Amino acid sequence: MKYIVECKNVWKVYNPESSAEVKALRGINMKIKKGEFISIMGSSGSGKSTLLHCIGCLDTPTKGKIYIDGVDVSKLNDDELALVRRYKIGFVFQFFNLVPSLTALENVELPMVFAGIPKNERRKRAIQLLEIVGLGKRLYHHPNQLSGGEQQRVAIARALANDPELILADEPTGNLDSKSGAEVMKVFKTLNKKFGKTIVIVTHDPLVAKTTKRIVKIKDGKIIGGE
């Protein structure tokens, strides 16, 4: 399978056939090859986050098909979607979204807990991942004891926990200063180059987009360039 993501005429309509109807996505066609490092750019309200949620199996399209690693996910039920998220996809969010009551190590372990990986193995891998993102000395810190950049790197380590092929990042630098943002982008670059991960970054920041190898532009729910 050459493409990790394939979108075919994807529509997402909120509150269909009512006065509050919003057509967030209007017939998206897009293919992402395995090992690509791409950004989806657009202004706020352009539908870029909705697209990411649909690709990330957090949401299902109203119409059209999305294939993840060759599997049509637009027809899967809640539990099947959860399994795709668990094993195929790693998420990185703008606001880090770490569980505040857990340490950095435990946060990275969490996806492996859901995957039923034994404790020892889990711990070993989580430590490895935190070392890769440069936080080998911050294992037992809670999120509120970490800087924004550090939290985001924990989140990246967590996204890698079950070794997914696809990393989806929603404005990963949107809440960081430029230095931390640059560090985070460096980590993504390494993951793409060294570990061959497919990385999709949603952003409105041209500087971030420039770091990636391909830029897909989206406006009013339609792709207007880079597809």
User: Residue numbers of the site for another protein (CB under 8 A)?
Assistant: 53, 56, 58-59, 78-79, 82-83, 85-87, 90-91, 93, 97-99, 101-102, 110-111, 113-119, 158-159, 161-162
Give min distance, CB of 4 to another protein, in A: 17
Outline where 137-215 has alpha helix (H). 148-159, 178-195, 206-211
Name the one residue in this structure whose structure tokens are 């399209």.
61
Q: Which residues contact 159 (CB under 8 A, 6 or more apart)?
A: 90, 91, 92, 167
Give min distance, CB of 57 to another protein, in A: 9
- The smaller minimum CB distance to another protein, of residues 133 and 211, is found at 133
Give min distance, CB of 133 to another protein, in A: 16
Bridge partner list, 28: 10
222-225/214-219 β-pairing: antiparallel
Give min distance, CB of 145 to another protein, in A: 16
- The smaller minimum CB distance to another protein, of residues 33 and 140, is found at 140
Name the one residue in this structure whose structure tokens are 């992402």.
32
- The smaller minimum CB distance to another protein, of residues 150 and 170, is found at 170
- The smaller minimum CB distance to another protein, of residues 56 and 181, is found at 56
Amino acid identity of residue 205, one-letter, is D
Which of 77, 132, 138, 79 lies closest to 105 in space, CA to CA?
138
| Distance from C-alpha of 130 to C-alpha of 145, rounded to nearest angstrom | 16
Give min distance, CB of 87 to another protein, in A: 7
